[in-house]
Structure 1
Amino acid sequence: MIKKAVIPAAGLGTRFLPATKAQPKEMLPIIDTPTIQYVVQEAVDSGIDDILIISGKGKRAIEDHFDRNFELEARLEEKEETLYNEMRRLADMANIHFIRQKEINGLGDAIYYARHHTGNEPFAVLLGDTIIDSVIPVTQQLIDVYEQYRCTVIAVEEVPKDKVSRYGIVGGKKLTDSLMELNQLIEKPAIDKAPSNLAIAGRYILTPEIYKALEQTPKGKNNEIQLTDAFIRLLKRENLYSHSIEGKRYDIGNKLDFLKTTVEFALRRKEFASPFAEFLKEIVASMDKK
């Protein structure tokens, strides 16, 4: 059983400057909910309530968000019962721990900071700037695969072939429509070097063996310790599997996808979906006239 989750959230968020100069990119809201809250909720919905967030300098806002604010709660309790209940639920949704990545040395290095917290247990990893909307939480989907094979499981999704150079790409032997036993992992390959168009999608179930692999992994692309490089070493010790996710992934790490996500989520909100849709129609109509 997977009891713990790790959420790396230590990146600088340079693509969102100046907005991220003084706040973490993971706290950028999709309407009124910070991105990382969706990620924590996915872990909780997958039956995990012990969560370690790997943060960094300038990320204190994440800790404050999941902490109690007694003054705010006192005011809301008097006037806004619904918001008061939401703030209490937020503070109590999981046992959340924090540790800082002292230097920005890549995703692999960030995960290595979790070794004392997870110990000899398998654990889930959810990237803090990626939301995945699905009926069954993607982390739960991976847990189900892990329970069968007891090995590392990596979430993947199909991407257009002309975009494989943006992602870590996997290759291997297909076992079912959604499951593959891996024999290749390449970080941001050239189109002609990619073994497939299945891109790593920001969710993992990892075994404790990953820490030994990370210890032996030198710095790779961008002079950082790449998790994909560690997986290549891990292949020598255990089988690795990929699971094609059932759901839609939203990468909040770039501005265009952030804008698209905000629009899609806004159109789902009953309180303003209809007037917002009308507003969008007016904008598009005005553009067509130009």
Structure 2
Amino acid sequence: MKPVRKAVFPVAGLGTRSLPATKVMPKEMLTIVDRPLIQYAVEEAREAGIEQMIFVTGRGKGALEDHFDIAYELEATMKARGKSLEPLEATRFPPGAVVSVRQQEPLGLGHAVWCARDVVGDEPFAVLLPDDLMVGRPGCLAQMVEAYNKVGGNIVCAQDVAPERTASYGIITPGARDGRLTEVKGLVEKPKPEEAPSTLGVVGRYILQPEIMEILGNIGKGAGGEIQLTDGMAALIGTQPFHGLTFDGDRHDCGDRTGFVIANLALGLARDDVGPAVRAYLADL
């Protein structure tokens, strides 16, 4: 069983749910307290042992690559003024550790993942959606890698969703359960509540085997006229081990305005430097 060393970040989306903030700035660069969403996702991947970050980008997304590059002028100015470079340490990587490929057309999440096929090669890989901010210790992907090292195959992050919200998620047809691990017998993309096989939804984190790339290259369009990652994963069920891991932590949907505000509050309150002032302000309200 090969280790999970690579992670794909599909970051080519237009961020229409967050307009006008995302008119000229990538949605993944929106900040939660003092770090952009993409940095939270990359730090989560690093904690899980990921060695290479693969950004699937589009036009106007250069800020994502710049964020993880060396900023010579900024660093020289900070050094000259006696300021610590510690806040920048998490944005520095050795050459080759961050690579980018283009998704030239908005054909769906499955297509975005398929665009990274040449960099992924014949290895298992993770997929992280930065919109989904996962907060936990250890991080979500680290929990999934731990489970992967035990059962292998494919693993998705699972979360119980409200029955009326099943049409917003890929929904699992569950099999045997072992603690937080659930065998995946089937996957349905965005079913109506009355047609959903469960309320266990797939959210924002995946560990997949490389065979999915050939499937994604041939399945064609699914729900919404897009190439759906869920359809590709469904084709693997029965041929490889497939499980859902219920994440022990909190999830914030930061592609949604309400989720974005709540995430800033939650993470701000949890910090020693800004938490007391935020808590005092909320108490006054």
Coarse TM-score class (shorter-chain normalised) = over 0.9
Q: Which residue of 1 aligns with 2:142?
A: 140
User: Which residues of structure 1 form unaligned runs of 5+?
Assistant: 284-290
1:42 positional shift: 0.3
Q: How does 1:1-290 map to 2 (within 5 A)?
A: 1-82=3-84, 84-92=85-93, 95-283=97-285
Question: For the Cα contact (< 8 Å) 2:269–2:279, is it kept in 1?
Answer: yes
- Summarize deviations over 1:4-35 as a string: whole Å, max 9, x none: 11111111101111111101000000021000
Question: For the Cα contact (< 8 Å) 2:12–2:56, is it kept in 1?
Answer: yes
Runs of 4+ in 1 over 3 A off after TM superposition: none
- Summarize deviations over 1:153-199 as a string: whole Å, max 9, x none: 11101112222221111012123121122112111111111111111
Distance 2:274 2:154 in 1: 42
- Summarize deviations over 1:28-65 as a string: whole Å, max 9, x none: 00021000100000000111121101111111110111
Q: What amino acid sits opposite 1:90 in the alignment?
A: T
User: Which residues of structure 2 form unaligned runs of 5+?
Assistant: none
Distance 1:52 1:5 in 2: 6
Percent identity, aligned pairs only, is 37
Distance 2:19 2:82 in 1: 34
Q: What RMSD, in angstroms, separates the aligned Cα atoms of the two structures? A: 1.5
**Structure with higher helix content:** 1
- Summarize deviations over 1:66-115 as a string: whole Å, max 9, x none: 11110100111122533x22224422378111111111110000000111
Shift in alpha-carbon separation, 1:205–1:79, aligned structure 2, 3 A: same
State the number of aligned residues: 282
Look up the SS of the partner of 1:279 in the other structure: helix
TM-score, normalised to structure 2, is 0.95
Q: What amino acid sits opposite 2:92 in the alignment?
A: A
Q: Which residue of 2 aligns with 1:287?
A: none
